[in-house]
Structure 1
Amino acid sequence: MQNKTTTFAEEINQAQHCAMAEDDNMICMGLGINDPKAIFGTTTGLQSKFGSDRVFDMPTSENAMTGVGIGAAITGTRVLMTHQRVDFFLLAMDQLVNNAAKWHYMFNGQMTVPLTIRLIIGRGWGQGPTHQQSLQSWFAHIPGLKVVTPSLTDNVGQLLYQSIMDNNPTIFLEHRWLHNQNIDKETCVDYNSNMQTTRVIKEGEDVTIIANSYMLLEAIHCHNFLKKQGVNCEVIEVSEPTNIDWQTIYNSVNKTQTCICTDIGHNSFSVSSEISAKIYEACFTSLKKPIKRIALPSYPEPTSFGLTKKYYKTRTEITKAVSELLDREIFMTEDVEFPHDVPGNWFKGPF
């Protein structure tokens, strides 16, 4: 009997299989791409199906290998690179910013760089300052780069597939805690259908909540809880910070007249900062109260189990913000029965 469900990680894997099958010249490389864990199960079966000439492990030389990837891409090869942490990739920023992002512009649009780089964001289990950075705003600041931050299983395959098939360099930021989301496979979006980079996930008329990546799950939990309290929040997903459908956001804010912007990164100079600024420019007279922003504090994540408890923001902080915007007392108590530094009691690693 065919399995009718799928996970976030399986959809990422399937998207790579589809892209590799469609483009015979495409290559995939990454540290641990063919080891038994297959980068958290996201690269399973790629090498056995497409061969070691097209799918291969790489040395711990991020800068050099990114240069190899860019060189292959500008000469016509479609390239997918995977790094098991965003933080490891930072050695290659010069290659990304000064070569990949600018090549198309410097050659007057005559050359392309069909390169996609998967970067995985860590969290929990003592990840600490150098294994959990969420740098979507940093990458989005660079003209010429496309930045994608998937949130849900239903469209992650489409987002990755279309990123790979795009002829522009793309940073694909996956949160590790999203990999095990399980849904009915029939609800998944067709890879070749029109992509919605800004989606209304939950409709409502009281407060607009804008989120992406893991914070979207927190926003959905908040929506479901508040609905029982008679509060209807509209939850909007922004899966491509460099290509936001602003009208979708403006329409929602003009309707609810209140807004919360969440972020997986630090609060200062963040994607939520940019979204808030754009809303103020377009919807200032509609807002009843200032926008609330919920993001990480401006210091690195501690390694200590105790110190991380209040570091990450959750549905509790979103609920508190809704309460303040609506001048209504609403309290949410944490209903979880597992440690705060894992996504669930089912999680056994690896991180």
Structure 2
Amino acid sequence: MSAPAPSSGPPTLELRAVEVSHGRRRVLHALSLDVRPGELLVVVGPSGSGKTTMLRAAAGLEPVDSGRVLLDGDDITDLAPGQRDLAMVFADLALLPHLDVAANIGFGELARGARRRQVRARVKEVAADFGIADLLGRRVTRLSGGEQQRVALARAALRRPSAYLLDEPLSHLDPVLREEARSQVQVLRSRDGAPVVLVTHDPHEALSMGDRVAVLREGRIVQVGTPEEVYATPADTFVARFVGPLPMNLLSRDDGHVGIRPEHVRLGDDLDARVQRVEHAGTEAVVHTTTERGPVVLRLPWGERPRVGDDVRLGWSPAHLHAFDRDGRRLAR
């Protein structure tokens, strides 16, 4: 089952200048964002950046101070959560421990008044899609973390909403199960083409899963683009350091900083450095050095690694350099 191509048409779900406060603390600052039909939009940011609050505001679980929430062009800002055609998967999955898998999947639809016979048939269908048809009679407390996550996604899919909201759905899984679960998120949007908004604190998840990536910092969207755009042309030094397998190196200069990714640094003749630490990374070594312009990290083949304490010279191609001003904003080449 292949994922549908994102549409360039009008957005399915749109947040327009949404502001949310918790007491006197502003959590979201005039946040504007949209997700298009068939799209998987990943919102990535550190803990406390407002990711969950943003989803809860879209779902109607969090009151907004100002701004609007639109679904298929209709203003749903003042609608109750149950009146919004959205399905949310919570970080803790919110499964009912006293019920079996089938009852968990069908619970919401039955509560909304759907006929039991119809729900039972649809539960079997969606369970097959998510590979849990043989678990329908089992208590959710007897499932693995990955199986529980499939149940939560199946429950959301049963509703056939206009859009899905996923709050860090992979964060509680170990690395092996996390890889498997990513494919289940693709199953979710492949069933009916509804777009998915997924939030995570993991930049690797964002780059590997999203059709587009939105970077959130302190309640503000600082950049939106394809994974390639966000990684190759970060809007500021925060994005440059936060998004990627390793933070971008930032070298000080009079008018700001020059940035370069670790994979673009080599042993060369541009800058003197001393090796402080060498980390094993499979076939590569991650080499940490100190220089007069700040710390520099580079990736080298394991067999070409220097030793701790070695004095080396580093180099790079000018084409791989990024320029940022004193405030951290990206400068045009």
- TM-score class, shorter-chain normalisation, is 0.3 to 0.5
Q: Normalising to structure 1: TM-score of the pair? A: 0.34
Q: Normalising to structure 2: TM-score of the pair? A: 0.35
Greater gyration radius: 2
